[in-house]
Amino acid sequence: MDGDPDEGMLSWDESVFRNEHVFEIDYVPETFKHRESQTQSLTYALRPAVRGSRPLNVMVRGPPGTGKTTAIQKLFDEVGAQTGDIRTIRVNCQVNSTRYSVFSRLFEGTFDYEPPSSGISFKKLFGQIAEKLVEQDRVLVVALDDVNYLFYENEASDTLYSLLRAHEEYPGAKIGVVVVSSDPTLEVIDELDSRVQSVFRPEDVYFPVYDQPEIVDILDERVRRGFNDGVISRETLEYVAELTAESGDLRVGIDLLRRAGLTAEMRASRVVEREDVENAYEKSKYVSLSQSLSGLSDTERALIEVIATNDGEQAGAVYDAFREETDLGYTRYSEIVNKLDQLGLIEADYAEIDGRGRSRSLTLAYEKEAVLDRLE
């Protein structure tokens, strides 16, 4: 009926979404735009594996939210669909940040079940993986996603050394490595031991930040697949892209679309308005913070909380408060401080202290409330 006040309103069983999963961070899009040259470089590196040879190693670099994981996942899916002679395994190093846990994931990917939780040495774990590859005459391609976390835990060199030297201890083992770093300050090659540098000569594939027209194009594809027709206007979409470009992280835009849609539904509206985007942005802009915090251990999260309540204090004073909660020594405390600094969660700046020389002051890199809210 013309003029019906409820015409633009959702009923209780309706949604603005056609497929909400399209806006999940781990969704792999059917069409992958504006990364053609990077995809070609990765394909080139893996091509020898299709012929049964060891592939070229690759170093993939770029800020968060620039398509690195998606590119690798799509390539691995394509390889898996073409041949059964190549085993591709992506390891999330944010979750698996030690050599043993990385190889536990490789064991699981090789045998399709998890290794025993205890009682098996690294040497035996590694040996079973390598022997299985030789027995099946399969090539293994390992993607160490967010490899920067292995560096934060001083586990990168040992992990890469084991993978790159596998063929020496187990003749016939063919393993290629793709290392993926989201830390623009990390010089991967320079930080590796000389014994690893001598054998690790990777192809370098860089993923730059998307520019605004590219962001509009990518988000428009998500809108068409994820929302019902007419839910978001072009003007609103371009506003979302503008906010995304400011952050430099495509994940912000994807999360922002989903939250703006949910905000519109809360109003029972059939369309997403600019105000919905503005309200949703207060949470979406912290996507990177949430991702970083989710990978921290209980001890590391405890230190974040201590720094939040002692923001701007000298490292020694923060340690005293931290030790009261955890009983950990200063060496481990210093290691965690360095990791949190490398992750961009805190700022550890050196300053001259009267009569005491140089000392670090520790401050949060984000608003205190935003950090504490996401620690709960």
Give, as one character, the DSSP assignment of residue 66.
S
Distance CA(113)–CA(39), nearest Å, equals: 31
Whether 274 and 239 have beta carbons less than 8 Å apart is answered as yes
Distance CA(60)–CA(72), nearest Å, equals: 10
66 labelled ligand-binding? yes
Spell out the alpha helix ranges (H) of the chain: 36-50, 68-82, 99-111, 122-136, 148-152, 156-164, 166-169, 188-191, 194-197, 212-226, 234-247, 250-266, 274-284, 287-294, 298-309, 315-326, 330-342, 368-375
Q: Which residues of 241-263 are buried (b: 16+ CB within 10 A; e: fewer)?
A: bebbbebbbbbbbbbbbbbbbbb
Around Cβ 143, how many Cβ atoms within 10 Å?
25
Distance CA(280)–CA(285), nearest Å, equals: 9
* Nearest residue to 122 (alpha-carbon basis) of 149, 152, 102: 102
69 labelled ligand-binding? yes
- Sign (positive/negative) of CA torsion 61, 62, 65, 70? negative
- Sign (positive/negative) of CA torsion 222, 225, 231, 233? positive
From residue 313, give the alpha-carbon distance in Å to each of 320, 324, 331, 335, 358: 11, 16, 18, 18, 14
Distance CA(177)–CA(93), nearest Å, equals: 14
67 labelled ligand-binding? yes
Chain centroid to CA 348: how far? 23
210 labelled ligand-binding? yes
68 labelled ligand-binding? yes
Q: Which residues are annotated as a binding site?
A: 66-70, 210, 222
Q: Which residues are annotated as a binding site for ATP?
A: 66-70, 210, 222
